[in-house]
């Protein structure tokens, strides 16, 4: 795939991640800034179709833009910490242990670490580790749910894109 096409594809993916990121902001699940990680769908897709470096770029750009558009500095910190940690874990699992994991397994691990990253930042911001313990159980249960959903969605998106002739051609 040539450079420009790749850039355009990544830009599209980022914009979609951004929309997911913002839609998530409307869901009254936890707190301003702390999110379930629906945007991880796009992270995972990028990871599989483009690679680790590209996925990290998607995460960072999405977090920064998303927080600038609707959020605060703390929201950006939450978002970055969660996104990067989740991306690292998913990348590690995908490129190293792919044979042992389904898409859902990888994305669930990603979702769990997405929460851990955010909670660590929240603990630091609020100055008490109590936050980590208080929210860990609830968010982990939620992560299992979203993780599964994110994995499923990613699997279909990847499958669909890989079946597309134009994409295959571009990829080749």
Closer residue to other proteins, CB minimum distance, 60 or 132 = 132
Long-range contacts of 55-64, Cβ-Cβ distance < 8 Å, separation of 24 or more:
55/87, 55/90, 55/91, 56/84, 56/87, 56/91, 57/10, 58/10, 58/13, 58/14, 58/17, 59/83, 59/84, 59/86, 59/87, 60/84, 61/14, 62/14, 62/17, 62/18, 62/21, 63/21
Nearest distance, CB of residue 133 and other proteins, angstroms: 3
- Binding to other proteins in span 16-75, by CB under 8 A: 18-19, 22, 25, 28-32, 34, 69-71
Candidates 60, 101, 155, 171: give the one binding other proteins (CB under 8 A).
101
Q: Rule CB under 8 A: is residue 124 a binding residue for other proteins? A: no
Candidates 42, 81, 90, 143: give the one binding other proteins (CB under 8 A).
143
Residue 78 to residue 125: CA distance in whole angstroms: 10
Residue 41 to residue 43: CA distance in whole angstroms: 5
Residues 6+ apart with CB under 8 A from 48: 94, 154, 158
Closer residue to other proteins, CB minimum distance, 32 or 53 = 32
CA 79 remoteness from chain centre: 9
Other beta carbons within 10 Å of 125:
14
Q: Tell me which stretch binds other proteins (CB under 8 A): 36-44, 80-88, 130-138, 154-162.
A: 130-138
Nearest distance, CB of residue 27 and other proteins, angstroms: 9
Q: Tell me which stretch binds other proteins (CB under 8 A): 38-46, 50-58, 93-101, 155-163.
A: 93-101
Summarize as ranges the residues that interact with other proteins (CB under 8 A): 15, 18-19, 22, 25, 28-32, 34, 69-71, 93, 97, 100-102, 104-106, 108-109, 112, 116, 122, 125-138, 140-141, 143-144, 147
């Amino acid at each position: 795939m040539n450079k420009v096409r790749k850039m355009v594809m990544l830009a599209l993916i980022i914009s979609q991640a951004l929309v997911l990121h913002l839609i998530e902001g409307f869901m009254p699940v936890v707190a301003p800034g702390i999110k379930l990680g629906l945007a991880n769908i796009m992270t995972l897709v990028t990871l599989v179709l483009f690679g680790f470096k590209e996925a990290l770029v998607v995460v960072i750009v999405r977090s920064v833009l998303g927080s600038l558009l609707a959020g605060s500095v703390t929201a950006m910190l939450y978002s970055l910490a969660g996104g990067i940690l989740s991306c690292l874990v998913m990348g590690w699992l995908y490129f190293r242990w792919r044979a042992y994991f389904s898409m859902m397994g990888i994305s669930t691990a990603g979702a769990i670490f997405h929460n851990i990253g955010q909670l660590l930042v929240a603990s630091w911001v609020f100055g008490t580790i109590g936050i980590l313990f208080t929210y860990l159980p609830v968010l982990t249960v939620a992560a299992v749910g979203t993780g599964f959903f994110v994995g499923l969605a990613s699997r279909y998106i990847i499958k669909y894109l890989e079946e597309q002739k134009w994409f295959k051609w571009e990829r080749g």
